[in-house]
C-alpha cells in the first residue's frame, strides 16, 4: 500500500499540525494519531470502517486494529 500523502491529509488542507501519522491499509489515507488534536486517523476509521492502520513513522512497523483495539506486529 502506498500512502496518499507524506502528512495528515486533513491537517495539510487545514494548515494545521500533527504529532504522529497513521496510514490506512484499506485505502492509503494518511491521518494524524490520537495524540494529535484532530485525531484524523480515528475519524477516518469511523467514517469508512477501514479497521487496520499502520504507523507511518520512520522505524516503526506496527499495525493498529480499531475494531479489536490491538497493536499487531508486522510479519
3 has pLDDT over 70: no
Encode pLDDT of 7-16 as tens digits. Answer: 999 999 999 9
Binned at pLDDT 50, 70 and 90, residue 6 comes out as confident
- pLDDT tens-digit map of 15-54: 999 999 999 999 999 999 999 999 999 999 999 999 999 9
Determine the pLDDT at residue 5.
72
How are strands ordered across the β-sheet holding 21-24?
30-32, 21-24, 52-55, 62-65, 70-73
pTM of the model: 0.89
Which H helix or E strand runs over 47?
helix 40-48
Amino acid at each position: 500500500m502506498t500512502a496518499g500523502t507524506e502528512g495528515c491529509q486533513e491537517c495539510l488542507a487545514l494548515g494545521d499540525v500533527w504529532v504522529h501519522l497513521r496510514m490506512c491499509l484499506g485505502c492509503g489515507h494518511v491521518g494524524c494519531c490520537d495524540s494529535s488534536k484532530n485525531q484524523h486517523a480515528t475519524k477516518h476509521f469511523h467514517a469508512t470502517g477501514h479497521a487496520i492502520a499502520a504507523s507511518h513513522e520512520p522505524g516503526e512497523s506496527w499495525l493498529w486494529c480499531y475494531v479489536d483495539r490491538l497493536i499487531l506486529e508486522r510479519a
